[in-house]
Chain A
Amino acid sequence: MRVQSPLHLLLVEDDPADAYLVQLALKESGHHLSLHHAQDAQEALQLLQSPHLASERFAHPDLILLDLNMPRMNGLEFLKKIKQNSALKAIPVVMLTTSDAESDIQAAYQQGAAGYLVKPADMDLFIRQIKQLLDYWALLVHLPSAPVQGEAS
């Protein structure tokens, strides 16, 4: 049986209470993960733009889980910077927030979010949602890359 490499996640969350709940849900999802937690958007941006600060895998995570409401730089501003950076724009970003406001959802997708998950109060439901999210992205990340035309033998 082939052992799949872990899914490298970067969690950008300023609130430790929420960060704990997300980590708990990730742990209970049963996925093979490696997680790095950035305390805010600026720290996350620094990490992504300066690989020497972290190991290579966190400088290029498979998925970023991003909170919306953060001090100094909010989630949407961070997302915009990521999508404007040619080296980082391919990294999928999923919003993980409490807000289900239509304006926030629309703004996130307009900025290039790959998904938007409203954190429920019910922990069991949250775990299920996180599991489904990771099932989907793990499948995508571990799919063999399509051969580039002309390189196929």
Chain B
Amino acid sequence: MILRRLLITLLCCLSGHTLYAAETSRLADNSLLSFFEQHDSIMLMIDPQDSRILKANKAAARFYGYSQSALEKMSIKEINTLTPVQIEEEMQLALSEARNYFIFRHRLADGEIRTVESRTRLYAIEGKELLVSVIHDITPGRDLDQALWHYQDRLEARVQEQVELLDKERQTHQQRIYFALVLQGALILLLALISIRLFFLKRDKQRLLKQQTQTNRELQRLNEIMAHHFQEPSRRLVTYAQLLQRKGSFDYDPETRTALEFMQQQSSRLNLLVHDIQRFLALNAPPPKADWVSSQEILDLCLARFEPQLKKCSAQIICGSPLPDVFFPRRFLSLIFEVLIENACRYSRPQVALKLEIQSRTEGGWVHFYLRDNGQGIEADFREKVFELFYSLSAKTESDSSGIGLTLARKILALYGGWIRINDAKLPNEESGVCVEFAIKEPML
């Protein structure tokens, strides 16, 4: 009964065909399978689940060039040359054109491609759904209208090209997406690693900062101890040695007097050292803010303060045009001038009146100060060394220098972006001497 229904359906599929009326009555008497087998129309039964060809008739075997048994082991996909996308497109096209058939390209056993019209329906046969396709080879018609088929071929080739292009683009796009995803993942990983590293660095920085603060506090405390505890006894030693000398009690005893002089000399040196070390350590504290100050006024005050020493060297101070105002802490500028004037006096030549020329020049955002003297001078090899801590050019017994002054001056200037150096630009007509040059940066307006 089912097969009967099937055959009637098949006849319906062939509607419009000339076989329809004659065959309907004849087949009623023949075996239904025989009808399927013997019919000249190419027919295939296909499993819609996996596209396997379940049954092929003799006409199909003749058309495709495979034996029936070979066909029944094949899938329709092995015959149909269209890709699944193209098949889908054709189905959409047939639907839009209200066609009940599809046009496919089927490959024969000898590799020839034929254009076929496939009328396919879904039927439930013995409880199983099967696709029954009746195939009409429409390729022969090509000879009748070469231009149309040429156009069709071109169109199909174009569609094929576009599909391939689209496939390729889709693949490229997918590859790009994969690459972007991998890159994004790598970046996220990198960022995570950087964040972790930053976290540890920040923690280390905070720890180091804490340690530095603690060290600074200890240095500050040491500085205070230097100020109060060391300086006091050293000062008292000097004063008391002076008092003893003033008394003149030991004048009659040369040895005692010499010993007393040494005591006073050493206590003075100790006092100077403690004082300079304290000044040096004080630079570790936050530096004072700069302000506009008159360098001429500060120099004049320093010269007045050093009047006794300058007088002792019979000093002649040569000043050019007035020194300019600079943006620098007053106390520190004063300290720099003190160090340089003190050094000029200390290293003046015996029996030669000290000449000290003080000039300035403003150029390129810097104010340069030049202090030239006719003193003992410094050999080229030692001009940098004298800026080292505790470096002195004269024996300690001969000098009241602590060896800190120039180090202090350089450190102060460096705190505010400035610098100091020594060159051999001697005063005219003088056989020796030095030129100390230091520069202070002008503030950005």
Query: Chain A interface (Cβ within 8 Å of chain B)?
Result: 15, 17-18, 21, 24, 68-69, 98-104, 119-124, 126
Contact = CB atoms under 8 A, between A and B. Distances in A.
B235 A121 contact: yes
Contact of A21 (B236, B278, B282): B236
Contact of B242 (A15, A100, A122): A122
Interface stretch (B17-25, B116-124, B220-228): B220-228
A9 B231 CA distance: 26
| 8 closest A-B pairs by CB | A121-B238, A69-B228, A99-B227, A121-B235, A98-B232, A123-B242, A98-B231, A101-B227
Contacts of B235: 98, 119-121
Contact of A69 (B232, B234, B278, B285): B232
Given A101-B227, A121-B268, A121-B271, A18 B282 contact: no
Contact of B231 (A99, A102, A122): A99
Given A69-B232, A121-B268, A98 B242 contact: no
A18 B236 contact: yes
A17 B236 contact: yes
15 contacts: A15-B232, A15-B236, A17-B236, A18-B236, A21-B239, A69-B232, A98-B228, A98-B235, A99-B224, A101-B223, A101-B224, A101-B282, A104-B227, A122-B239, A123-B243
Contacts of B278: 101
A119 B278 CA distance: 16
Q: Say what secondary structure dominates the interface of chain B.
A: helix
User: Which bracket fits the contact residues of B?
Assistant: 20 to 34
Residue of B229, B238, B239, B288 most packed against chain A (CB within 10 A): B239
Given A98-B227, A100-B227, A122-B242, 10 more contacts: A15-B236, A69-B229, A69-B232, A98-B231, A98-B232, A99-B224, A101-B224, A101-B227, A102-B282, A121-B268
A120 B223 CA distance: 19
A62 to B, nearest CB: 26
B393 to A, nearest CB: 24
B382 interface: no
B40 to A, nearest CB: 119
Interface string B208-232: 0000000000000001100111011
B99 interface: no
B241 to A, nearest CB: 9
A112 B401 CA distance: 37
B26 interface: no
B128 interface: no
Contacts of A102: 282, 288, 331
Interface string B221-265: 001100111011011101110110010000000000000000000
A103 B243 CA distance: 31
B157 to A, nearest CB: 94
Nearest to B227: A99
A59 B288 CA distance: 40
A66 to B, nearest CB: 14
Nearest to B282: A101
A123 B239 contact: yes
A17 B235 CA distance: 11
B347 to A, nearest CB: 22
Contacts of A120: 235
A103 B231 CA distance: 16
Interface in B269-323: 271, 278, 282, 285, 288
Contacts of B229: 69
A18 B242 CA distance: 14
A13 to B, nearest CB: 11
Contacts of A124: 242
Contacts of B238: 121-122
Contacts of A98: 227-228, 231-232, 235
A15 B439 CA distance: 45
B137 to A, nearest CB: 110
Residue of B232, B268, B271 most packed against chain A (CB within 10 A): B232
Nearest to B220: A103
